[in-house]
Structure 1
Amino acid sequence: MKIAIIGTGGVGGYFGAKLAQAGYNVTFVARGAHLKAMQNKGLHIKSILGDFRLDTVQATDTITELDRPDVILIGVKSWQIREIREDISKILKKDSMIIPLQNGVFIAEELSEKINRGNILGGLCRIISEIESPGVIRHSGVTPIIIFGELNNAKTDRVFRVQELFRTAGIASEIAEDIEADLWKKFITICLSGLLVVSNSTYGELRELRGTRQLMIDLLTEIFLLSQKMGVHIEADFVDKTVAFVDTYPYDATSSLTRDVWDKKPSEIEYQNGTVVGLGEKYGIATPVNAFVYHCILPSELRARGQRYEAFIPNNVSIK
């Protein structure tokens, strides 16, 4: 089985390395110094579950060089999906399976605008990880897991084959009973990333102060109420469960969006709090905390992208 990892950051690098360690034919797509380090020295995983090193890996910076992979895990940022989906369409076999692991609830829809929907599964993951240095991935929190499934929740032979693939690589996985609900649960949780930015805090700092803890709860509650308005099936006590889960994060942990904004890089803000604001306006749900977070980050986002507001077309204008 040929596997492609498109985007070898904290997510793609970790899961792809586990698959390669298990002996699967894995090709990584990366760029810059990270790619060069992988090509010259392999890939090193530092993990709370145990470190390991791959002395040699197959790696490229060109998606169209990939040779008809059977399974594609996409680990790029959400806003990069539109940039790469046409190239992905050129390397697919009829039965290739794409599992996007981005944050956001409309990734499959964006992919399907250029790719046959039959090639796409719904997917998400839970892990706190990042590129520590070129060629080195650091997994610092949360037991890694991939949750995936058919977009219509059917239990097909291929999803069981993929689950077996993950099992033999030592990757925890679940076949979703309701992939839309699971995507929304991840979405609600990850939208705390923007609150970390504006509060200039880690998850530990955010949760331990009464005021920021209440903001955290209010932000989560707004998105939960929005999901209910949209008919997403999420249990009534989900916000309480999420707060309890965040309480288990490493004290100094942050998120990729948080680090991107702090590092003055383009971020996924449109796919997180920006999407909440757009959907809230569409469905008549007030989202004041998410709106505050989004609009506070927007000026730095525009600077990172070299854009002026009047020329900026936010992704959430395409919300269905």
Structure 2
Amino acid sequence: MKILVVGAGAVGGYFGGRLLEKGEDITFLVRENRKKQIEEHGLIIESVHGGMKFAPKLVTRLENEEKYDVILLSTKAYHLEAAIEDIRPFVSEETMILPLLNGISHLDLLISEFGDHHILGGLCFIETTLAEHGKIVQTSPIHNLVFGERSGLETERIMRLKESFSNTKASFIYSENILAEMWNKYMFIAVLSGVTTLMRAPIGPIREVEGAYRVVEKVLLEVFTVMEKMGAPVGTELIDEQMSKIKDMKYEMKSSMQRDMEKGLPTEADHFFKYLLENAETHQLSTPYLELIHANIKVYERQLLSQQQRNRKQGC
């Protein structure tokens, strides 16, 4: 299958690289700067599962309009609208679009732009960063990509995709219940991102303070209640499961949103929390902790924007 990977960053670059390593027909859709960087240094992956270096096929949005069987989309939520315009020329009537974004609201946008038939369900579990010259560094043993038809059906096309994803050094996992898995991860990420950004601390110190740990439970209950009212495939057993995961996490574990804030980067606050708050309002639910979490991040984003504007005025 012809596969287009949007971006060659920490996530797309890693999974696309593993498919390229296997011998799949992979092309990376990149910006000019990233293209020049890869052309000069190669696509480099440093991993506990084995390193590699390639000179992959690269394309920019304006170079051609070749169509692809699969488009792997792993952008941040705040780059999604731009990514949609980038991939539009490469989508045929049969193209499958596999988004790996955290959360759920991106599905609505992708379906509205491309139609229900094109959009698969997907998520991933991986810790990767970009180092010097755009090298992708992956140090955790977990490198899972989960995918499936949102309908849960075992279609001919998903079986062909399963075959293309098989026998790689990364774990490409087919799921017959991908939407439930996406909602499950959304719940977990929303709670972890919420409490770590609110308290500016890894999960370990939060667990050590009784009052702070109670906040984790209250945030989880609010998230669960909203999702349940939305008709999400979540059950009450998830509450204990999620708290157990949080209890067992490494002491120093931070959410990616917290790390973004520490680096002075934009966040996916609206994608995670505004979406839940809008649905809470629709169902007339009280969600004071989610409101506080969202407000805290929006204050940060406003301060970040003000600082960026001052820097531009000063010529920094």
TM range (shorter): 0.7 to 0.9
Report SS of the residue matched to 2:242.
helix
Deviates more, 1:55-64 or 1:219-228: 55-64
Note if 1:220 corresponds to 2:215.
no
TM-score scaled by length of structure 1: 0.85
Structure 2 distance, partners of 1:135, 1:184, is 31
Structure 1's 81 and 220: CA in aligned 2 closer, same or farther, altered over 3 A?
same
Q: Deviations over 1:147-205 (max 9, x none)?
A: 22223222211112222222222332333333332221111111122322221222343
Deviation, 1:35, is 4.2
The 8 Å contact of residues 78 and 104 in structure 1, kept in 2 or not, is answered as no
The 8 Å contact of residues 73 and 99 in structure 1, kept in 2 or not, is answered as yes
* CA root-mean-square deviation: 2.5
The 8 Å contact of residues 49 and 169 in structure 2, kept in 1 or not, is answered as no
Equivalent position of 1:25 in the other structure: 25
The 8 Å contact of residues 141 and 253 in structure 1, kept in 2 or not, is answered as no
Deviation, 1:2, is 1.8
Structure 1 distance, partners of 2:305, 2:30, is 21
Equivalent position of 1:317 in the other structure: none
Equivalent position of 1:287 in the other structure: 287
Equivalent position of 1:78 in the other structure: 77
Equivalent position of 1:316 in the other structure: none
Note if 1:53 corresponds to 2:52.
yes
Structure 1 distance, partners of 2:9, 2:253, is 17
Deviates more, 1:18-27 or 1:80-89: 80-89
Structure possessing the higher radius of gyration over alpha carbons: 2
Deviates more, 1:18-27 or 1:259-268: 259-268
* Number of residue pairs aligned between Structure 1 and Structure 2: 306
Unaligned runs of 5+ residues in structure 2 are 308-316
The 8 Å contact of residues 121 and 151 in structure 1, kept in 2 or not, is answered as yes
AA partner of residue 75 (structure 2): V
Structure 1 distance, partners of 2:14, 2:97, is 17
Structure 1 distance, partners of 2:65, 2:124, is 23
Deviates more, 1:135-144 or 1:265-274: 135-144
Structure 1's 242 and 139: CA in aligned 2 closer, same or farther, altered over 3 A?
farther
Structure 1's 209 and 60: CA in aligned 2 closer, same or farther, altered over 3 A?
farther
Structure 1's 43 and 91: CA in aligned 2 closer, same or farther, altered over 3 A?
same
Deviation, 1:7, is 2.8
Structure 2 distance, partners of 1:105, 1:259, is 21
TM-score scaled by length of structure 2: 0.86
Report SS of the residue matched to 2:14.
helix
Note if 1:114 corresponds to 2:109.
no
Equivalent position of 1:144 in the other structure: 143
Identity %: 28
Deviation, 1:127, is 1.8
Equivalent position of 1:161 in the other structure: 160
Report SS of the residue matched to 1:129.
strand
AA partner of residue 94 (structure 1): E
Structure 2 distance, partners of 1:243, 1:141, is 22
The 8 Å contact of residues 183 and 233 in structure 2, kept in 1 or not, is answered as no
Structure 1's 249 and 134: CA in aligned 2 closer, same or farther, altered over 3 A?
farther
Unaligned runs of 5+ residues in structure 1 are 308-320
Equivalent position of 1:124 in the other structure: 123
AA partner of residue 270 (structure 1): D
